[in-house]
Amino acid sequence: MSLITDRRTILGSAASLGLLGGVFGAASKGRAQSDPFTLGVASGEPWPDGFVLWTRLAPRPLEPDGSGGLSGDIPVRWRVANDPQFRQVVARGETVAPDRFGRSVHVEVRGLQPNRDYFYHFEAENVISPTARARTAPAYGDRVSKMRAVFASCAHYERGYFSAYRHMAEEAPDAIFFLGDYIYEYSYTGDRAAENVRSHDRATEASDLAAYRNRYALYKTDPDLRDLHRMAPCFVTWDDHEVQNDYAGAWSQNMNPGDAEFAVRRRAAYQAFYEHMPLRRRSIPGLDGGVRLYDRFKWGDLAEFTMLDERQYRSMQPCPRTDDAGKVTSRRGRTAPLNCPDFSDEKRTMLGAEQETWMAQGFSQQTAKWNIIPQQLVVANLLQTISAEPGSPLGYFTDGWSGYEPARRRMIDAIDKSKVKNTVFFGGDMHAYVTSNIKTQDGRTVAAEFVTSSVTSDPAPDHLNNAPKDNPHILLFDNSARGYISADITQARIDVRYQAISDRKLKDATVRTHRKYVVEDGKPGVQTA
């Protein structure tokens, strides 16, 4: 079956297989009141003999208490088949959607064949979920000739429709990478809401478990996002807006309320993230509220993905704003002058000591053709004017990698020292397409970097489009388009397409290729296509 036929079958099967309560002999409760699968289904983190299957039962997804309209633990059945009609079921089981995690379901399926498509669904409350496609990874070390990966970040629900997600699904990727800002905690209010195409539920800022849950629930009821998850397994990391704008490690951007209150908020946000993503057991929130996200994933001999977490363990932001008496008033990101002493403080970290060591060890042991680093920020050094005024002095934005220069340099040195081949970064956060060569201190290119623009979020400030003038290693900074990145990875090269949607305000926006790049095996850095 071709991928396109698969896709039609999958998306068409929503109607035919979506609600077959009668098949199991139970009386239908009526879909409008009781469909527990309003948030859709998803698969994630594929390995050679399986993947995670995810859903969360929520017949009333925006119930104010965050319960989804159910209480207690709920039994759930799941099935995996060779075919979308479930004639050949190859794995099945029963589990419980626990009250403790908002009735989310995380099943780790094992015993499947590597490098092939499977179809799955759930059954709960006498309702069968939509059918979806998952895919196992190729066996470790097996020769793999090609893989298609798509990358997205920054999807503020209020600012546009998720057409980029629809077009990503149409590419029938092998894997989807979400690079952060999958939700936004804040809502537009007053004059700023004038350009909204739709609103968050009750248009508040999420800060407790019920509100974070309902924010994910709202996003996941979007049909384009649900269909994307039904097309392929995903890998996820987060950025700031899954918790709060510009938070850093244990520190809020705000001085008020204090850090103890922020710890409670962060814990709630992390739990809601776990509940809504197809993550393995290692990501279950720990006693300290932490969620382990960083990991490496192999795709046969073709690629190894080193997925990073650049929020949870980082140092406080450098040189925060102060009042005249020198008292810190806000830790929110800003463009600080070059003489900020924190910029050169070697003790400051982006990844935390443990992740940094883990990353460097991984690089030194790599054997795959491509060393791919999906993460949430722009890695390229980004000198920028402090204001949009002509003649403004230059500085660094304190929330990005440029605000953590010694840590950035250590990461680049780890790549350089390990002689790891063919490193490519994919990033997000910037709300612009950015293409760069990543260089060592002495000016050698060791990696290419491709940063995806936002799915819907507002563009980066216009003056940043001049970034290549002050940063010759940055080949493109373009805030003009919203969209995603598609990458066709082969043994010889990676073909990268910047896929731009026509208009975020249109439900049926079209897509076009905005820019194309190539990275060739054995040649570090970007070649233009």
Q: Which is nearer to Fe ion, 171 or 181 (CB)?
A: 181
Please give the Cα distance from 518 to 494 (Å, whole number).
Answer: 6
Total of residues contacting Ca ion (CB under 5 A) = 4
Q: Which of 154, 379, 455, 526 binds Fe ion (CB under 5 A)?
A: 154
Site for Ca ion in 150-189 (CB under 5 A): 181
Name the minimum Å distance from CB 253 to Ca ion.
12
Contact 398, 483 (CB under 8 A): no
> What count of other Cβ atoms lies within 10 Å of the Cβ of residue 88?
10
185 makes contact, choosing from Ca ion, Fe ion, none, with CB < 5 to 8 Å by partner type, with none
Instruction: Indicate left, alpha or beta for 352 from its phi (over 0: left) and psi (-120 to 50: alpha).
Output: left
Q: Is 179 in the site for Fe ion (CB under 5 A)?
A: no
Please give the Cα distance from 430 to 179 (Å, whole number).
Answer: 11
Name the minimum Å distance from CB 42 to Ca ion.
22
Site for Ca ion in 107-136 (CB under 5 A): none
Name the minimum Å distance from CB 124 to Fe ion.
33
275 makes contact, choosing from Ca ion, Fe ion, none, with CB < 5 to 8 Å by partner type, with none
Q: Which is nearer to Ca ion, 150 or 378 (CB)?
A: 378
Which has the closest alpha carbon to 488: 148, 68, 95, 62? 148
Axis-axis angle for helices 223-231, 209-220 (nearest 10): 80
Contacting range for Fe ion; rule: CB under 5 A; set: 74-82, 113-121, 176-184, 360-368: 176-184
Q: Which is nearer to Fe ion, 102 or 427 (CB)?
A: 427
Binding mask 453-482 for Fe ion (x = CB under 5 A): ----x-------------------------
Q: Which is nearer to Fe ion, 118 or 184 (CB)?
A: 184
Binding mask 408-437 for Ca ion (x = CB under 5 A): ---------------------x--------
Q: Which is nearer to Ca ion, 167 or 431 (CB)?
A: 431
Q: Is 239 in the site for Ca ion (CB under 5 A)?
A: yes
Q: Which is nearer to Ca ion, 224 or 242 (CB)?
A: 242
DSSP code string of 85-121:
T-SSEEEEEEEEE-GGGTTEEEEEE-SPPSS-EEEEE
Total of residues contacting Fe ion (CB under 5 A) = 3
> What count of other Cβ atoms lies within 10 Å of the Cβ of residue 387?
13
Sign (positive or negative) of CA dihedral 444, 446, 447, 448: positive
Q: Which of 181, 185, 224, 309 binds Fe ion (CB under 5 A)?
A: 181
Contact 311, 238 (CB under 8 A): yes
Q: Which residues contact 417 (CB under 8 A, 6 or more apart)?
A: 364
> What count of other Cβ atoms lies within 10 Å of the Cβ of residue 73?
14
Interface contacts to Ca ion, rule CB under 5 A: 181, 239-240, 429
Interface contacts to Fe ion, rule CB under 5 A: 154, 181, 457
